[in-house]
Structures are given as C-alpha cells and as structure tokens.
Amino acid sequence: MQPFTYAPVADAAGAAARALQGASFIAGGTDMLQLLQEGVAQPAELADINRLPLQGITEDADGAIRIGALTRLQDAADDARLREAFPVVTEALDLTASPMVRHMATVGGNLLQRTRCLYFRDVSTPCNKRLPGSGCSALDGENRHNAILGGSEHCIAVQPSDLPVALISVDAEVQIQHADGAERWVPVEDFHRLPGDTPQIETVLRQGDVILGLRIPAHARGRRSHYVKVRDRASFSWALASAAVALRLDEGGRVTEARIAVGGVATKPWRLPRVEQELLGVRLDRDRARLAAVWAAEGAVTRSGNAFKQPLLQRTVERAIIEAGELA
Amino acid sequence: MPPEPAQSFAVTLRVNGQSFETEIDARTTLLDALRDRLHLTGTKKGCALGQCGACTVLLDGKRVVSCLMLAAMAEGREVTTIEGLARGDELHPVQAAFVEHDAFQCGYCTPGQIMSAVGAIREGRAGSDDEIREQLSGNLCRCGAYANIVAAVRDAATREA
C-alpha cells in the first residue's frame, strides 16, 4: 500500500470539501481495501465517511422507500418493508458477496464497486480503465468474465454489482449532494456510464459529490419482481449473468408494465427495453417468456472466452421472467 | 471538529472487553493491528483480500473480515476475536463442537470458521444444513473439512437454541 493520510469526517459538507481537495472516501471499505492492497487505488487521503448520518431505511408518506447511502447491505436485506414491497432488491442483496462482506459493505459503496476484470486488478498489465491509454489486455486475453454488451475497443470490463441491476427494475434514483450544497437525483439506470474512449470515468459523479441515498418510488410497488443470479459456484461469487425482472399483470394475466435489467454481462447495469416491449400486452406464458428473452442478447459482441454468456444471458432472462410470473 | 488527516496516530481499540492504545500507520488493517500490535494471533491472515474468511472477527457482535477494514475505522467499536470466546478453560460451545466433530485438519481456517459460526448462530441463521452452508460460504477450508464443519455448527446451534 502507498502511504496516505486518514481522518473521519463529520457531515456531507465536510466530506464533499475533502473530496474537492482530492480525498477518496472510505465507507464499508470492502472494495477500497482490496484496491489499496493491490496498488490499484493510490489515494493521497482517505476521508472516512462512516460517521455521516446516512444509515437506515425509511418509508415516505406516499409509500416510497428511502435507503441511506451508508446502510449496510445486510441491514437492507433484513428490512421487512423492503422485502415486502420490492423483493427483487432483497433477493439481489441476499445473493451478494458473503455474510461478512454484507455486514460491512454499504449500498452507496456498492454502486461504486470497481470492476473485477483481472487486468484492472493486476497493476503489472495494461488497462485503459486503470491507466488511460495503456491498452486493454482483456480484448484478446482472459476474458471469460468480461462484457458482451456495452463494450468498446478500449474496455470490456463488467460492472459487477447486483444491487443496481435490481434497483433499475424498480425505477430507483440516487440522491447526490455536491460540495456547493446543490442536491440532484439521478435514475440508477443513468448513474453508470458506458466506457467509450474514457473507461476511467465510470459514473455521472463529479469531484465533490457525495451519495446521500436511494429512493424507490411508490409507483414501482405492486410489480411482481424477482432476481436470478448465475455464477460459477453456489454462493459468494460474482454473476456470470444475472437478471432482475419486475412485471405488472392485469386480471387477465396480461403484462401491463415490464422492467428488465441484467448484470454480469455488460459494462454497466443493463436495461433491456426490447425484451420489455416484447412482453407488453401479452398474456404471459413460457413460450412468450422464451421468445422475449431471445432479445436479451441483441447487440452482443462476444470474445474468445465469453461467447457462452450469450445463450446464458438469454436463458437467465427467460428463467427470471418465468419465475417472476410464477409460470414454473 | 474531526481530527486533521494524518499518516500515523494513536488509536484505542476495544478487543475482547479490554482497551488497548496503540500507535498505528493509517494503512494498518484491523487484522494486522490485532496480530502485530496486540499480539492476538488467533485471528489468521489468509488472502488479505476478503476472499477466504480466515480473519473473521465480530464487530459490535456482527461478523466482519478484519482484513478489509482499517484499524482506525474500528475505534469506538467492540471487537471480539477467537481469544475472546472461551471462559477460562471452558470452551465456547462452538469451539467444543468443532473439537467433538473433528471439524478441522490443519486448523488455519478454524478461528474464522468458528467466529463466522458464532455470528450466524447469534443472528438466527443456522437453522438447517443448507442455511449453514450458505452462511459459512465466506469461510474457505482448503483441507475440505466442510462436512464436519456443518455438523459441528448444526450441533452447537441446536444446543444453544
């Protein structure tokens, strides 16, 4: 680890001020410590934001649910209101990391988890995300875990978090405060950026921003929602493919609303508007689910090691639709 | 006012009911502080990347991996390590169950397995073999003693219930 200075900060304004001076934040620390240990992150200063009053889950009068940025993943997973209203979010949290990591990691930090691309984490190799302009080792390297959607000639690294995938299916938004005191809301769907030719820029956050929390709007209540995660081992592993599905059905079993997002396959949490469109207005059955899910891989670009993800993604989405619609 | 950012400073850590004041570099992990400063070497260093669970301790009663936390972040919190479980010569029920069920071979992962099991039982998440396997999935055992670990945790959970 490179030397750095450390100090806790007391409030969001103090945190933002340190960030403007170039400090990096540490919250749960579960990704930051790995990045520090491997020399990927070399901050001059770490500002510990754990004392900010951003913990806990509350319900608005209209039924929206707010999750403070420093809420631990396990505490969010254990919240009965969240589980009842938005099961897809709870299921994604249940399948995230290990119990120890869930007790430490925060929901705000989870949105900012860095890619698990082998080359990003290995400072002895070229990586455009870690060292812009150095090249992408994954394009023709060990790319079994890399993206088939949203990549560019500069980067095919997967954003590995489960939570934002689920949050997209329930129209969640991120609350952000800037150092100047201004607050803004960004849909989770628009929070992460495509790599393009600047893969080192991963989100819409600017220097001096602090994530205050998340809000899941009341209008997303009542959808049948479900999260499916496929991985190399039964537990404690990143997704090879995952799918969050939220559907509203009318009394006749016809789909009136559909939100579908996928993880483990794309450079950012990835919404599938074409699959949603295929489901709208149809009476859901297993054939419809399969036909719609074919569109999940629309635009996919596969590499030497990750072509398996194309059918895997389609079948993961199909299974998530079937299970969400209780057609199994 | 919060303190000024610094590269080294004194911290007070509460471990197993005792307070320890020690001077640390900002980079010191909780794991390294426990082992190298407080000489509590029961907590093991495996991967140092949060992947193996050998360094599992309880923080305010909840399971964490001490390698992914700066020691400075543990100030004001209560840390419990494997050394804090037994009462004198009387083993904690989970420790006793590990001995009884022969739930280890080389023993390197064992402190982490036991701390994780203690946490899982306290959280009420050790109700079935499947749940125990899922709850201890962050604790790897390269000797492959998993079958006996599950049996030990199930036995201890049943006795404590």
**Residue among A143, A127, A138, A144 at smallest CA distance from A232:** A144
Q: Which among B1, B5, B49 has CB closest to A5?
A: B5
Q: At B13, which CATH number?
A: 3.10.20.30
- How open is the CA angle A243-A246-A252, to the nearest 5 degrees? 130
Q: How many distinct structural domains can be found in chain A?
A: 2
- B76 and B14 belong to one structural domain: yes
Domain end point (choices B41, B67, B84): B84
pLDDT (0 to 100) of residue A194? 98
Q: Give the domain range for residue B70.
A: 8-84
User: A14: distance to nearest CA of chain B, Å?
Assistant: 9
Q: pLDDT tens digits for B6-23? A: 999 999 999 999 999 999
Tokens standing for residue A168 = 């997209």
Nearest chain B residue to A42 by CA: give it: B27
Assess whether B79 and B101 both reside in one domain: no
Q: Tens of pLDDT along B49-68? A: 999 999 999 999 999 999 99
Q: Who contacts B150 (Cβ-Cβ below 8 Å, separation ≥6)? A: B129, B132, B133, B136
B contact test, residue of A1, A4, A6 with most B CBs within 10 A: A6
Tell the residue number behind the tokens 């009462």, with chain if given.
Answer: B87
CA gap A310, A265 in Å, rounded: 9
A213 DSSP assignment: E
- What pLDDT is attached to residue A282? 95
With CA atoms as reference, report the closest residue to A160 among A206, A214, A217, A105.
A105
State the pLDDT confidence band at B1, using cuts at 50, 70 and 90. Answer: low
End of a domain among B28, B60, B84?
B84
**Same-domain status, B105 and B80:** no
The arrangement of strands across the sheet holding A270-271 comes to A224-230, A241-249, A255-263, A270-271
Q: Do B108 and B139 reside in the same domain of the chain?
A: yes
Which own/partner contact pairs does A251-258 have at CB distance under 8 Å and 24+ positions apart?
A252/A283, A253/A283, A253/A284, A254/A281, A254/A282, A254/A283, A254/A284, A255/A279, A255/A280, A255/A281, A255/A282, A255/A283, A255/A284, A256/A280, A256/A281, A257/A223
- Please indicate whether, in this complex, the C-beta atoms of A7 and B62 are within 8 angstroms of each other: no
Looking at this predicted complex, what is its ipTM?
0.97
At A268 the pLDDT is 98
Residue A20 belongs to a domain: yes
Contact B64 A104 (CB under 8 A): yes
Flag whether A300 is in a domain: yes
Please give the pLDDT value at position B2.
72
d(C-alpha B13, C-alpha A129), whole Å = 37
Residue B103: the pLDDT is 98
DSSP conformational letter for A120: T
Question: Chain B within 8 Å of A74 (Cβ-Cβ)?
Answer: yes
User: Is B68 in Cβ contact with A3 (below 8 Å)?
Assistant: no
| CATH of residue A229 | 3.30.390.50
- Are residues B67 and B118 part of one domain? no
Contact B138 A14 (CB under 8 A): no
Give the domain extent around A21.
5-48
**Structural domain includes residue B55:** yes
What per-residue confidence (pLDDT) applies to B160? 76
**Residue B2 covered by a domain:** no
What values do phi and psi take at A193, rounded to 5?
-110, 155
User: Partners of A259 in the beta sheet?
Assistant: A246
Q: By CA distance, what is B132's nearest residue in A?
A: A99
A312 in any annotated domain: yes
Within-domain flag for B3:
no
- Judgement on whether residues B107 and B143 belong to the same structural domain of the protein: yes
Q: Is residue A56 part of a domain?
A: no
Partners of B18 in the β-ladder:
B15
Does any domain span residue A180? no
Shared-domain flag, residues B76 and B110:
no
- Flag whether B138 is in a domain: yes
pLDDT digits (tens, 9 = 90+) for B113-134: 999 999 999 999 999 999 999 9
Q: Do B21 and B62 share a domain, yes or no?
A: yes
> Read out DSSP for B16-55?
TTEEEEEEEETT-BHHHIIIIIS--TTS--S-SSSSS-TT
Low-confidence ranges of chain A (pLDDT < 50): none
Q: Alpha-carbon Rg of chain B, whole angstroms?
A: 16
Count: domains in chain B: 2
Q: How far is A218 from chain B (nearest CA, A)?
A: 31
Residues of B in contact with A29 (CB under 8 A): 68-70, 73
Which residue among B52, B84, B116 closes a domain?
A: B84
Q: Do A36 and B27 make contact, defined as CB atoms within 8 angstroms?
A: yes
Q: How far apart are CA B73 and CA B79, in angstroms?
A: 11
Residue B161 is predicted with a pLDDT of: 63
Residues B25, B65, single domain; the answer is yes
Alpha-helical segments (H) within chain A = 12-20, 32-37, 73-77, 80-85, 87-94, 99-104, 107-111, 163-168, 188-191, 273-279, 286-293, 309-324
